[in-house]
Structure 1
Amino acid sequence: MQIEYVWIGLAVILLLLELWAINVVLRSTGGWETKGLWLVILIFVPLFGLIAWAMFGPKREMPEHHRS
């Protein structure tokens, strides 16, 4: 396997993790100021932003889903 494919694979994994983290941030119960700050960090500093979000970001506080 060529080294380029390894880097492409790692970039795809990073992209998927970024999209997942952005989704979790948007669905969290935090205020819009906090969400906006995390989104800016995640988008403009992808790898280090993802690491910082995993360490210091919002914990698994998701809004309750109401069943109709």
Structure 2
Amino acid sequence: MDVNFGGGILGLVILILDIWAIINIVQSSSSNGAKVLWVLLVLLLPVVGLIIWFFAGPRGRAA
């Protein structure tokens, strides 16, 4: 087995979670400015941004 296999799986999981977070951010009822800032945070800091979004990010779906 390749030594980097675990890192590749971890990277894929982080990518999937980041995409899920971005979809939830875009569908939230927050202002467009807040959505842009949250998406940028998740894109620029994939792991840290995801954790911050999970605990403090916008919630709820747009009507």
Same fold by TM (over 0.5)?
yes
TM-score by length of 2: 0.92
Paired residues in the alignment total 63
Structure 2 unaligned residues grouped into runs of 5+: none
TM-score by length of 1: 0.86
Of structures 1 and 2, the one scoring higher in RCO (CA 8 A, sep 6+) is 2
What's the Cα RMSD here?
Answer: 1.0
Give 1:54's aligned amino acid: F
Identical amino acids, percent of aligned pairs: 29
Aligned ranges 1:1-68 → 2 under 5 Å: 1-59=1-59, 61-64=60-63
Give, in whole Å, the separation in 1 of the partners of 2:47 and 2:34.
Answer: 19
Structure 1 unaligned residues grouped into runs of 5+: none
> Deviation of residue 58 (structure 1)?
1.1
Give 1:22's aligned amino acid: I
Give, in whole Å, the separation in 2 of the partners of 1:51 and 1:14.
Answer: 11
Structure of larger gyration radius: 1
